[in-house]
Amino acid sequence: MKSIILSLFSLSALLAGVSINSASATDLTIYTYESFNSEWGPGPVVFKSFEEQCGCKIKIVTPGDSGTVLNRVILEQANPKADILLGLNNSELEKSFSYKLWIPYRSPLLVQVPIDLLLDKKHRVTPFDYGFISFVYDSQKLKNPPRNLEDLLDPEYRRKIVIENPKTSSPGLSMLHWTIAVFGEDGYLDYWKKLRKNLLSVTDGWSAAYGMFTKGEAPIVLSYVTSPAFHLEYEKTERYQAALFAEGHYRQIEFAGIIKGTKQIKRAQEFIDFMLSEKFQNAIPLTNWMYPVIQHQPLPDSFRIAREPKAVPELNSSLVFKQNTKWLKAWSRAMSE
C-alpha cells in the first residue's frame, strides 16, 4: 500500500514538473578536478560538511584535470552550467580573467590569508591551498636522485620519468613554466628536447601519472613536494621522497571563483566563506596534500618530510597570459619532432 501511495505521489509530482525531493534538487553546482573529488581527496569530506552546514544540496562535476575544467567553463560561458569553479591554478589566472568568467567576491576571512597568496587584487577568485611541484622518486629503485633540473637529462634516467601534459594538466603546465623561469624563453625548448628521451610517458593528468609511479612502472614522477607525506601518513614509509632542487620549485596556488551567470550568488558566496573556514582548510593537508592558505591548526606530523623550498622561481602572470599559447605550441612541436 505504501509503495502504491508513493508511486502515485511521484507521478503527481512529475506531472506538476517538480522534484519529489525539493523545489530545487540542486542548490549549487561545483566544477572541480577529478582528484579533488576522488574517494581519497577532500571532496567527499568538505562537500558533505558544507551541505550539513547550509542545509542544501550540491552537485559536483569533474570534467578532468584543472585545465580541462577551465576550458569547460569557457565553452559554456554563454549558458553556464555551474555556479563555482574550484581548482583554478595561478598559471591559468590571466586566461580566465580574459574571458570575464567571474563574479567578484571578497570574503571577510581573506584577512587571514598571507598577502603573497592574494594574486588577484580584484577578488575575482579566492585562493584555498598551495604547493610546490617536484619530482618524487622511489628511493628503493633510485639510489642517485636528481638534484636539479639539469640532472634529469642524465642517461641514467632514460625512460624512467613520468610527467603530465602541460596542455591538459596543472602540474604539467607548472613544470613548463618552471623550465621557462629557469632556462628562459630562449633555452627551455632545448631543455625539453634533451629531456624527451628520458620520459617514459606524458599523461593527460596527475592521477594517471602518479598511478604509473605507485604501480612501479617508473621510479620518478612529476608531482608535489607534499606527496611523500601521504605515504608516510598512511603507509608508514619514507620510501618515496621529493627531490629538492637547487634552483627552487615552481609554486602552484589553487583558487575558486563564482561563475558569472549563476543564479545562486548568495549560496556561492557562502561556499567561498566555508572554503576558508577551519573545516575546509584543516582537511586540505591530509586529503589534497597541499598547504592550506590559512593554517588554523599545526600541520600533521607527516609533513616533516614535506619541506617548503627556499627558492621559488616564478613567471609574471601577464607574461604567462601573453605567451602561454605560443609556449604550448612550441612545446608540442618540440616533443613531436
Taking a C-beta distance cutoff of 8 angstroms, is the pair 178, 152 a contact?
no
pLDDT score at 307: 85
Which grid coordinates belong to 222?
612529476
Query: 259: Cβ–Cβ under 8 A, 6 or more apart, which residues?
Result: 73, 80, 82, 83, 84, 85, 101, 102, 103
DSSP for residue 28: E
Class of the CATH domain delimited by 2-130+253-305: alpha beta
Average pLDDT, the chain: 91
DSSP string, 131-166: EEEEEEEETTT-SS---STGGGGSGGGTT-EEEE-T
Distance (Å, whole) CA 320 – CA 322: 6
- Most distant CA atoms of the chain, gap in Å: 77
CB count, 10 Å around CB of 327?
Answer: 21
Rounded to the nearest angstrom, the gap between the alpha carbon of residue 99 and the centroid of all alpha carbons in its chain is 20
Task: Kindly list the domain boundaries of the chain, sorted by start residue.
Answer: 2-130+253-305, 132-251+308-336
Per-residue pLDDT tens over the stretch 232-269: 999 999 999 999 998 999 999 999 999 999 999 999 99
Domain 132-251+308-336 class in CATH: alpha beta
Output the 3-class SS for 236-296. Answer: CCCCEEEECCCCCCCEEEEEEEEECCCCCHHHHHHHHHHHCCHHHHCCHHHHCCCEECCCC
Closest CA to 230 of 41, 20, 27: 41
Q: Looking up cell 627558492, which residue turns up? A: 311
Whole-prediction pTM: 0.83
pLDDT in tens, 95-124: 999 999 999 999 999 999 999 999 999 999
Amino acid 13: pLDDT: 41
Q: What are phi and psi of 309, to 5 degrees?
A: -60, 150
List the chain residues with pLDDT less than 50.
1-24
Contact 233, 302 (CB under 8 A): yes
